[in-house]
Amino acid sequence: MAAELDVVNLFFIAGATLAIPILAFLASFLLWPSVLIKVYYWYWRRTLGLQVRYADCGGYRFCYSYRGKPGMRPSILMLHGFSAHKDMWLTVVKYLPKHLHIVCVDMPGHEGTTRTNTEDYSVQGQVRRIHQFVGSIHFNRKAFHLVGTSMGGNVAGVYAACYPSEICSMTLICPDGQHPCETKFDNHLQDLEQSNFTLNIPLIPTTPDEMEDMFKLCSHVRFKIPQQILQGLVDVREPHNAFYEEVFMEIIGEKSRYALQEHLHLITSPLQVIWGKQDQVVDVSGATVIAELVPGCRVDLLDNCGHSVVMEKPCRTAKLILEFIILQQTAKSGTKKSS
């Protein structure tokens, strides 16, 4: 009888042990989905070998994650888009070789990087801050490969024009800027301007339904996201919405909107442009504009892909970036041998 009781107790203890994490997960999913989202990012950073660090410079703090050390290949600096954060690159980093030196930084005011004022949120202001970051961690000891998407693409392009000696090559992913063909987002923007910005900004959702609409606008691929996760994403972003509005008004202003186009003629480093053919935020025709102004620009257009290239085609994006880096290194070493 004692043996049977021991078995029963063992099953009870085992069941309770299993039940606790399951119940904790369900509680987090149903009651605190925002906590679950943060744990998700922590888990993937840890799994991929990324470490989070801070760089302080003149009272300003940058938050960034990194993996690897400088080696034969150029180091890679990755700049995220509007209202995103360094962890948006996790899907791409997953498919990049582990020996590569990669740094993903939170853009000015975003996530763990210091939030100051609108001077830092224009494209030019962000370029100055990113240059400050690069210097603070001595990332520019050797020329590096710069990657930027959307708003980060604008910043990356202007950065390369302003500091050409620091860049060995560059990848711009659907950067904001001039595009001959209008998009669904352009129509939204016109409505916003006509309403004197009293309407909700599609890229700053305040409800789960608006969050879902934003995903539909930014992605050609339709992701099935549970309502609880959508709510969690809203909860994570909601405290920062006033800041996002400030940034949005800066980057659509005349000073920033065409900053990339105004600096394209100054770009001297090899340039790669990646764009989703079904982009509804910044039309793919923008790739042609850039290619015409930058000699030798390589353009990679992705089928069945919208504005969220990093999320929709992470493996393809990583492969294209790595191919381009190797191609430029090979061309450079070939030039040295011939001379």
* Annotated domain spans of the chain: 49-332
Amino acid at 269: S
pTM: 0.89
Token pair for 309:
């290239």
In the chain, where does DSSP find H-type helix? 2-31, 33-48, 90-93, 123-136, 151-162, 184-194, 208-218, 227-237, 241-251, 254-257, 259-263, 285-293, 309-312, 314-338
What strand order describes the sheet that includes 298-302? 51-57, 60-67, 102-105, 76-79, 144-149, 167-173, 271-276, 298-302
| CA–CA distance, 326 with 339 (Å, rounded to integer) | 20
Written out in words, the top-level CATH class of the domain with range 49-332 is alpha beta
In angstroms, the Cα distances linking 82 to 34, 43, 141, 152 are 20, 23, 28, 7
Q: How far apart are CA 130 and CA 61, in angstroms?
A: 11
Which residues carry out catalysis? 150, 279, 307
Give the span between the Cα atoms of 88 and 85, in whole angstroms. 6
Q: List beta partners, residue 147.
A: 78, 171
pLDDT in tens, the chain (339 residues): 433 333 333 333 344 444 444 434 444 444 456 778 888 899 999 999 999 999 998 899 999 999 999 999 999 999 999 999 999 999 999 999 999 999 999 999 999 999 998 888 999 999 999 999 999 999 999 999 999 999 999 999 999 999 999 999 999 999 988 888 999 999 988 998 888 887 789 999 999 999 999 999 999 988 888 888 899 899 999 999 999 999 999 999 888 989 999 999 999 999 999 999 999 999 999 999 999 999 999 999 999 999 999 999 999 999 999 999 999 999 887 666 555
Strand partners, 167: 144
Please provide residue 171's backbone torsions phi and psi, each rounded to the nearest 5 degrees: -125, 120
Q: Residue 281 in contact with residue 185, Cβ under 8 Å?
A: yes
Asked if residue 309 lies in contact with residue 149, where contact means CB atoms within 8 angstroms, the answer is: yes
Structure confidence by residue, pLDDT tens digits, 5-24? 333 333 333 444 444 444 34
DSSP helix/strand/coil, 102: strand
Q: Is 60 helix (H, G, I), strand (E, B) or coil?
A: strand
